[in-house]
Amino acid sequence: MSKPNLYTRLAGMFSSTQKAKTSFKPSTLPKPTNSPVSAPSKTVNQKVDDLLDEKDSRILVEKFKHLSQYSYFRERCREVYKLTIHRLAVAKQYELIEEALESQKKYVSSEGFASRIIHLYGKSGMFDHAYKLFDELPNKKRTQGVKCFNVLLGAAANSEKYDKVVELFRELPVKLSIKPNVDCYNTTMHALCKMGLVDEAVLLLDEMKENSLDISVVSYNTLLCAYYEAGECEKGNKLWERMVKDGVAPDIHSYNFKIRGLINDGKLPEALELAMQLKDKGVKPNVGSYNVVIQGLIKDDDLVSVKEWYGKLLESRLLPNKTTFGILVPFLCQRGDYGFAFEVCEIMLKRRFSLIDEAILQNVVDGLAMNSTIDKAKVLVELGLSNSYAAYHLVMPASV
């Protein structure tokens, strides 16, 4: 069997929490020096492999801290930083996250590196720690610039402290003489929408214009999504007209939100018509477009059309994703169409890419077995066990 690629091995960090049989020995690493070339990339990469193989969270942090002494690791291995902290967050090892990231403060030599640590704290839901580092930057003779400020807003949003996002947005720019950029406004808009204050978020568009900022389609999409998901299609449509009038071209995400809005408003035929017009409008549908339509058809309990649109998805040379699987397979099982559910699951498992719900997969296996389709059930079990990305532990029903 060939050696898994880097991203497969990185993902493997999340699949096990068993303790390692051997302890970490710092002496196995070359001694760092102040020279930026003291640790050749080959040496560091070998140690990264060792870190990725580590199953014990405590030892993982020790290896991470030791590797971070090398400038090559800090500058080039950003994905390892991200996935190491994510693994600890999934395991709710917040004390270890704090230990790992606090150890990085002595390496803060730029606003960019500080922003990375603030971001990682935010992704872990540890906003107070992110804010503390932001406050400490002047003591480290580092600038609290707009880049770092925007990451701080993102950290608050990722920690679901939406009211804090709005508070910081209103207070810090004046206090620190920071001019918010488009990203800062977009993050604040998102927070206001999450708080149900969409009308207030729309007012930020005027403020952006007053500050001579170019409003992007991302700004409008944030607001359109909120209106359409809330079922306020009339307000969404008025905002759409404003977007076009302002010379901002709707993208595929804009149309997907509008299609969802029509469905939520009970206008499925109009939604389907719009979906079929996308190519004529010069917009290429993405997998999200098909997912929105399929979800609407499932809501309408239209099995025939659901299968038809899934076929259109495959014909478009797009691949179904985790969302497709999550909405489609349970519906197929509910309708007793385990044969079609098998086809969907087989494609997903053979991709060896997206993490999908093991319980749903097991439900398909059980349904196939109960309907005397034993061969197909066995195929899914074997595909699940051989999937190096997730290693699904599917089993055949005891009665088989």
> In this structure, what token pair is assigned to residue 47?
């140690």
Q: Let me know the angle formed at the C-alpha of 51 by 48 and 52, rounded to the nearest 5 degrees.
A: 90
Cα Rg of the chain (Å, integer): 25
Report the alpha-carbon distance of residue 353 to residue 85 in Å, rounded.
21
- Among residues 174, 109, 165, the alpha carbon closest in space to that of 137 is found at 109
Confidence at residue 348, expressed as pLDDT on a 0 to 100 scale: 87
Q: What is the DSSP string of 116-171?
A: HHHHHHHHTT-HHHHHHHHHHGGGGT----HHHHHHHHHHHHHTT-HHHHHHHHHH
Boundaries of every domain in the chain: 1-106, 108-215, 232-318, 333-400
> In this structure, what token pair is assigned to residue 253?
């995400």
**Helix/strand/coil for 336:** coil
DSSP 8-class letter at 31: P
> In this structure, what token pair is assigned to residue 133?
């580092």
Amino acid at 97: I
Does CATH number 2.60.40 belong to domain 108-215? Answer: no
Buried b (16+ CB within 10 A) or exposed e, 133-161: bbeebeeeebebbbbbbbbbbbbbbbbeb
> In this structure, what token pair is assigned to residue 353?
């890419």
Pair 175, 139: CB distance under 8 Å? no
Which whole-number Å values give the CA distances from 12 to 98, 191, 220, 355, 384, in the listed order? 23, 33, 38, 11, 15
CA max distance for the chain:
70
Confidence at residue 391, expressed as pLDDT on a 0 to 100 scale: 64
User: Residue 169, Cβ neighbours under 10 Å: how many?
Assistant: 23
Buried b (16+ CB within 10 A) or exposed e, 93-105: beebbebbbeebe
Owner of token pair 């206090």: 175
Buried b (16+ CB within 10 A) or exposed e, 358-391: eebbbbbbbbbbeeebeebbbbbbebbeebebbe
Query: One fold for both 108-215 and 232-318?
Result: yes
- Among residues 58, 62, 95, 64, the alpha carbon closest in space to that of 81 is found at 64
The CATH code of domain 232-318 reads 1.25.40.10
Confidence at residue 389, expressed as pLDDT on a 0 to 100 scale: 56
Q: Within 13 Å, how many C-alpha atoms sit on residue 265's CB side?
A: 19
Confidence at residue 11, expressed as pLDDT on a 0 to 100 scale: 46
Confidence at residue 353, expressed as pLDDT on a 0 to 100 scale: 57
Mean pLDDT, each 10-residue run in order, the chain (400 residues): 46 41 44 46 84 91 94 91 93 96 94 95 97 93 91 97 98 95 97 97 97 95 96 95 96 97 94 96 95 97 97 93 94 96 91 76 93 91 75 73
Confidence at residue 33, expressed as pLDDT on a 0 to 100 scale: 44
| Long-range CB contacts (within 8 A, 24+) of 350-356 | 350/383, 351/319, 352/8, 352/387, 352/388, 352/389, 353/389, 354/321, 354/322, 354/325, 355/11, 355/322, 355/389, 355/390, 356/322, 356/325, 356/326, 356/390
